[in-house]
């Protein structure tokens, strides 16, 4: 049986409400609809109160008092007990006989709100004009609502009132209610009715007064139209954690606070600060353009120099201290199989079924009891081809296929959050589909957790590539990874600074992932963000002396797309964690704030500034006779010498760091390609501008990196076979002995 609570706001309606109650009863009883009447009187000065008291003796009706129509409605809704709610004016201008059909339309069409639309009028011409004008401008133009927004007859699901927050003025309930309900993802439709004159009495306020207040309220709603509406409990239970925003549905599968999420690009305070800085700079520029430019170049030069000193310190720390958590093979082999706890492996896959045989082989090579492994293949619901291909495989028993429902945002961290719901292991790790981890890595991680401090919640293994010699791009890419994972990150760990995690091979206690509330589904470099977030909460990341090999991007266009996504994620991470800088500075003894500024903020800043400074340097040396004196005037002596040191020694040191990274990793034959790094940096700067465009236009768009390109390159397949200790047989990898030393001789021959 359909049940509906009917809320009726009243003010001086003594001549209307008895007839209204009778018509409601006749209309609903004949359709076998159970109802309750909830009258909320706005302190009527006539006999309305007594009339309602008489009605409560005859019908299931209740009487309450409240000031103002909008507040009367909210008061009435709070007392509603049935799943559907109807609001109707008491003046009999709206036909209560339409309520059954409106309820039926909600049930049959899976609609959430039905708004009565006044099609035929028995009212004054002036009222019609005002009504149509309001509906067109404030409803359709301002809020894109093609409904009779001020209609006094609406039927809707009661849950809507519980989910959205309303703060109306006495006459502005309707528009705010419809806008916020739409933004919360509810479907709204219209139902045509005949609109009559008032049966008795007159309106409490004049048409002009009501229209003015409603119009002002419509503008206010437009300015405040930024509400995030979390899913109700029943939806969370069915679909997972998520929310609606401006009518769009997002399922992120975690409860991360929006202040810690990249869902919003910038806060209002950040926007205000950025605009203030821009205005201040251009104001100074207009007053004294030369002083403004001198100041700007001084700041840039100081930041360059600071970055040089900081990186020199990190490299020194890395070379002088052994900070990686080392677990020797002998200790691993001495542990009995029954000792090892359950381990969950997350592998997000999207349109990369070609590398699946390689991944299955990589996991099969892990020296971990297979009955203690849970490998979750996280597939996207719309990736039909990958799902079809995987269904054709005879997967090992410890593999599980998890289909991630198709929803916004479509990102790797969203898939990981969904997979976390199925994790059964005491420990968890993320591997990409093209990864080949050290066979002993899981065991080393378990034993490493026994050695580290209790506040270490993540172990990051080193990353490098199994196709470093495919082309020039993969060689330079390999040099970059060798510097980052073998020197920079170890330097950061030596001072217990925040470590930007790699996208793969980070190991967690599963319980800690729940404490950290998973990954930010809206950050396209979720690994970096998680590394910063755990540091802000007082936790640490430690580096594990183990290596995972993955595929170096060998296609320039593919690399450019991947790099722009990484930079976009770094930008997101920087602004998310600068919403509350004091969170990094709360404990001055922890070296969090300055490393964050230099490693995350400084790297982003340099990508945009580098081309400008290179261009100035080029012009200075090539066209010195014409422009040399002008350029020198922007660099006072202290800044000029600091800039020269940064340019000469800084660039030399950066290239030298790349060489050190290659040497430390054993890539001596790649060292000579380090001299191509400046061109690599230039490509990164172009990618940074694309990232800015992406932040503005498509902030959550995940630019998919194509994997498996090495499989189309005959020599690289041979290199990968040697490096990975694999033989390619009938399109699938099978395990053989892993002999890394063999690579050095065979690859040179290739």
Angstrom distance (rounded) from CA 489 to CA 496: 10
DSSP 371: G
Angstrom distance (rounded) from CA 219 to CA 314: 54
Angstrom distance (rounded) from CA 670 to CA 140: 63
Over residues 467-510, the pLDDT tens digits come to 999 999 999 999 999 999 999 999 999 999 999 999 899 999 99
DSSP 11: S
- Mean pLDDT, residues 261-286 taken together: 93
- Mean pLDDT, residues 121-141 taken together: 63
Q: Which of 132-141, 448-457, 525-534, 732-741 has the lowest mean pLDDT?
A: 732-741
Per this entry, what is the length of the chain? 750
Query: What's the predicted TM-score (pTM) here?
Result: 0.84
User: DSSP labels for 489-506?
Assistant: HHHHHHTT---PPPSS-E
Q: Which two tokens stand for residue 536?
A: 């802000």
Angstrom distance (rounded) from CA 316 to CA 656: 13
Over residues 405-449, the pLDDT tens digits come to 999 999 999 999 999 999 999 999 999 999 999 999 999 999 999
CB 461 within 8 A of CB 507: yes
318: left (phi over 0), alpha (psi -120 to 50) or beta: alpha
- Mean pLDDT, residues 332-360 taken together: 89
CB 337 within 8 A of CB 369: yes
Q: What are the distances in angstroms from CA 442 to CA 332, 370, 425, 508, 550?
A: 10, 12, 12, 11, 17
Over residues 531-563, the pLDDT tens digits come to 999 998 889 999 999 999 999 999 999 999 999
Please report which confidence band the pLDDT of residue 179 belongs to, taking 50, 70 and 90 as the band edges.
confident
Would the pLDDT of 716 be above 70? Answer: no
Angstrom distance (rounded) from CA 750 to CA 742: 12
Query: What phi and psi values does residue 692 have, to the nearest 5 degrees?
Result: -60, -45
Q: Which of 380-384, 658-662, 703-707 has the lowest mean pLDDT?
A: 703-707
For 468-556, list the strands marked E by DSSP.
Answer: 506-509, 540-550
Angstrom distance (rounded) from CA 638 to CA 197: 83
Looking at residue 406, its pLDDT comes to: 93
CB 146 within 8 A of CB 117: no
Looking at residue 329, its pLDDT comes to: 85
Looking at residue 64, its pLDDT comes to: 82
Would the pLDDT of 685 be above 70? Answer: yes
419 burial type by CB count under 10 A (0-12 exposed, 13-18 middle, 19+ buried):
buried
Whole-number average pLDDT of the chain: 86
Would the pLDDT of 142 be above 70? Answer: no
Q: Which helix (H) or strand (E) segment is 629 a member of?
A: helix 624-633
Question: Is the model more confident about 593 or about 414?
Answer: 414
Angstrom distance (rounded) from CA 151 to CA 112: 16
Please report which confidence band the pLDDT of residue 213 belongs to, taking 50, 70 and 90 as the band edges.
low
Query: What phi and psi values does residue 577 have, to the nearest 5 degrees?
Result: -85, -5
Looking at residue 133, its pLDDT comes to: 66
**Among 505, 529, 504, residue whose Cα is nearest residue 516:** 529
Over residues 692-704, the pLDDT tens digits come to 999 999 998 988 8
Looking at residue 204, its pLDDT comes to: 53
Looking at residue 226, its pLDDT comes to: 66
CATH 3.30.428.10 fits 3-229, yes or no: no
Angstrom distance (rounded) from CA 94 to CA 193: 8
Angstrom distance (rounded) from CA 40 to CA 73: 7
User: DSSP labels for 218-250?
Assistant: HHHHHHT---EEEPPHHHHHHH-SEEEETTEEE
Angstrom distance (rounded) from CA 16 to CA 29: 20
**Among 420, 373, 419, residue whose Cα is nearest residue 399:** 373
Number of Cβ within a 10 Å radius of residue 626: 9
Please report which confidence band the pLDDT of residue 720 belongs to, taking 50, 70 and 90 as the band edges.
very low
Angstrom distance (rounded) from CA 750 to CA 747: 5
Would the pLDDT of 206 be above 70? Answer: no
Would the pLDDT of 186 be above 80? Answer: yes
Looking at residue 174, its pLDDT comes to: 82
Q: Which residue has the tokens 């019609």?
A: 128
Over residues 25-68, the pLDDT tens digits come to 999 998 999 999 999 988 888 999 899 999 998 888 888 877 77
Looking at residue 123, its pLDDT comes to: 61
CB 42 within 8 A of CB 108: no
Angstrom distance (rounded) from CA 596 to CA 605: 13
Residue 540 contacts by C-beta under 8 Å, 6 or more apart in sequence?
452, 453, 455, 456, 457, 458, 496, 534
Q: Which helix (H) or strand (E) segment is 585 a member of?
A: helix 582-585
CB 84 within 8 A of CB 106: yes
- Mean pLDDT, residues 169-193 taken together: 85
Q: Chain centroid to CA 252: how far?
A: 8
CB 49 within 8 A of CB 13: no
- Mean pLDDT, residues 149-174 taken together: 84
Q: Chain centroid to CA 400: how far?
A: 26
Strand partners, 544: 325, 461
Over residues 618-635, the pLDDT tens digits come to 998 899 888 888 998 999
Helices (H), 350-440: 356-364, 384-391, 412-420
CB 385 within 8 A of CB 353: yes
124 burial type by CB count under 10 A (0-12 exposed, 13-18 middle, 19+ buried):
exposed
**Cis peptide, bond prior to residue 409, ω within 30 of zero:** yes
Q: Where in the chain is the domain with CATH 3.90.550.10?
A: 3-229
450 burial type by CB count under 10 A (0-12 exposed, 13-18 middle, 19+ buried):
exposed
The C-alpha R_g of the chain, in whole angstroms, comes to 33
Looking at residue 225, its pLDDT comes to: 59
Angstrom distance (rounded) from CA 634 to CA 288: 13
Looking at residue 333, its pLDDT comes to: 85
Question: Going by DSSP bridges, is the β-strand pair 153-157/113-121 parallel, antiparallel, or unpaired?
Answer: antiparallel
Would the pLDDT of 126 be above 70? Answer: no
Angstrom distance (rounded) from CA 190 to CA 117: 6
């Amino acid at each position: 049986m359909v049940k509906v609570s009917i809320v009726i706001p009243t003010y001086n309606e003594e001549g209307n409400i008895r007839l209204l109650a009778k018509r409601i009863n006749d209309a609903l009883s004949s359709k076998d609809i159970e109802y309750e009447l909830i009258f909320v009187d706005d302190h009527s000065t006539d006999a309305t109160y007594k009339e309602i008291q008489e009605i409560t003796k005859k019908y299931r009706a209740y009487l309450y008092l409240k000031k103002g129509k909008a507040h009367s409605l909210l008061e009435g809704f709070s007392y509603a007990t049935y799943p559907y709610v109807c609001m109707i004016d008491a003046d009999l201008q709206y036909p209560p006989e339409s309520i059954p059909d409106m309820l039926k339309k909600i049930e049959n069409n899976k609609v959430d709100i039905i708004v009565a639309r006044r099609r035929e009028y028995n009212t004054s011409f002036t009222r019609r004009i005002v009504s149509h004008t309001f509906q067109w401008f404030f409803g359709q133009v301002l809020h894109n609502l093609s409904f009779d927004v001020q209609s006094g007859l609406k039927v809707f699901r009661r849950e809507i009132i519980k989910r959205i927050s309303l703060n109306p003025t006495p006459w502005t309930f309707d528009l705010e209610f419809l806008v916020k309900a739409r933004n919360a993802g509810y479907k709204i439709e219209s139902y045509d009715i005949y609109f009559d004159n008032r049966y008795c009495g007159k309106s409490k306020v004049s048409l002009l007064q009501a229209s003015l207040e409603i119009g002002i309220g419509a503008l206010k709603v437009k300015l405040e139209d930024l509400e995030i509406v979390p899913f109700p409990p029943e939806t969370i239970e069915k679909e997972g954690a998520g929310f609606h925003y401006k009518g769009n549905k997002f399922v992120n599968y975690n409860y991360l606070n929006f202040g810690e999420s990249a869902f919003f690009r910038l806060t209002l305070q950040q926007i205000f600060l950025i605009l203030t800085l821009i205005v201040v700079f251009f104001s100074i520029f207009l007053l004294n353009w030369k002083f403004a430019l001198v100041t700007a170049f001084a700041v840039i030069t100081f930041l360059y120099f600071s970055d040089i000193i900081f990186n020199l310190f990190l490299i020194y720390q890395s070379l002088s201290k052994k900070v990686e958590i080392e677990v020797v093979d002998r200790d691993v082999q001495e542990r009995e199989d029954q000792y090892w706890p359950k381990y969950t492996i997350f592998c997000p896959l999207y349109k990369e079924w070609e590398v699946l045989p390689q991944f299955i082989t990589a996991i099969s090579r892990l020296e971990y009891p297979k009955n203690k492994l849970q490998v979750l293949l996280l597939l996207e619901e719309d990736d039909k081809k990958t799902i079809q291909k995987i269904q054709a495989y005879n997967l090992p028993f410890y593999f599980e296929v998890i289909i991630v429902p198709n929803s916004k945002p479509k990102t790797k961290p969203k898939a990981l959050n969904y997979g976390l719901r199925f994790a059964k292991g005491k420990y968890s790790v993320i591997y990409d589909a093209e990864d080949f981890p050290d066979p002993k890595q899981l065991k080393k991680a378990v034993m490493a957790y026994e050695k580290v401090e209790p506040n270490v919640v993540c172990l990051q293994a080193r990353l490098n590539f199994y196709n470093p010699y495919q082309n020039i791009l993969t060689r330079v890419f390999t040099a970059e990874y060798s510097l980052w994972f073998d020197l920079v990150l170890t330097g950061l760990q030596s001072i217990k600074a925040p470590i930007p995690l790699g996208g793969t091979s980070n190991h967690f206690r599963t319980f800690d992932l729940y404490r950290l509330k998973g990954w930010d589904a809206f950050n396209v470099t979720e690994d970096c963000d998680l590394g910063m977030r755990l540091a802000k909460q007082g936790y640490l990341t430690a580096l594990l002396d183990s290596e995972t090999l993955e595929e170096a991007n060998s296609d320039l266009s593919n690399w450019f797309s991947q790099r722009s996504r990484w930079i976009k994620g770094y930008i997101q991470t920087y602004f998310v964690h600068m919403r509350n800088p004091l969170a990094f500075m709360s404990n001055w003894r922890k070296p969090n704030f300055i490393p964050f500024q230099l490693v995350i903020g400084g790297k982003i800043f340099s990508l945009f500034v580098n081309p400008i400074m290179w261009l100035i340097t080029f012009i200075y040396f090539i066209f010195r006779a014409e422009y040399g004196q002008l350029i020198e005037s922007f660099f006072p002596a202290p800044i000029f010498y600091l800039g020269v040191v940064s340019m000469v020694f800084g660039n030399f040191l950066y290239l030298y760091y790349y060489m050190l990274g290659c040497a430390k990793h054993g890539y001596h034959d790649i060292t000579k390609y380090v001299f191509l790094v400046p061109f690599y940096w230039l490509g990164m700067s172009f990618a940074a501008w694309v990232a800015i465009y992406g932040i503005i236009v498509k902030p959550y768009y995940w630019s998919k990196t194509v994997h498996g390109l090495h499989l189309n390159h005959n020599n690289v397949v041979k290199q990968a076979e040697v490096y990975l200790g694999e033989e390619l047989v009938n399109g699938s990898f099978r395990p053989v002995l892993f002999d890394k030393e063999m690579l050095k001789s065979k690859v040179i021959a290739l």
